[in-house]
Copies of this chain bind each other. A is one copy, B any other.
């Protein structure tokens, strides 16, 4: 529905520059696999520090991935407006993730001038069923 204005590599380079804390954390946990058209895809590497009691990936790790995936799809479509900020995020945790990488598919539902709304589906690599589903709103600064 919407056409990106940046490539995955350009968004990756932008985030590495403006937000090194997240991008190189523990050796680059996150990779952008696609930016659109269609859903953007991120991959979060399976790592012990993402775990919670019971051995599964923690809720906060999944929320961070969902929020980052939405940020990536927004940046990819509005350009380098890195001060875009989340105003609302809702997440439902559906199933216990497997002990493998986690994939996030982020989709824009509405790209307005001031607000972007989308949803993000999280799946364990190699599986069909969603482990979590988030909806997210970003406020876009005036360019």
Q: CA A83 – CA B59 in complex, angstroms?
A: 12
Instruction: Quickly give the copy total for this chain.
Output: 4
Let me know if B54 and A83 touch, CB within 8 A. yes
Residues in chain B near residue A87, CB distance under 8 A: 92-93, 115, 137
Does A125 belong to the interface (CB within 8 Å)?
A: no
List residues 57-77 of chain A with CB under 8 A from any CB of chain B: 58-60, 63-64, 67-68
Q: CA A60 – CA B82 in complex, angstroms?
A: 16
Does A32 belong to the interface (CB within 8 Å)?
A: no
Does A91 belong to the interface (CB within 8 Å)?
A: yes
Q: A53-B83, A64-B60, A88-B90 are in contact. Are A21 and B48 (CB under 8 A)?
A: yes
Q: At the interface with chain B, which of A4-12, A33-41, A98-106, A128-136?
A: A128-136
Chain B proximity mask over A8-25: 1 for CB below 8 Å, otherwise 0: 000000000011011001
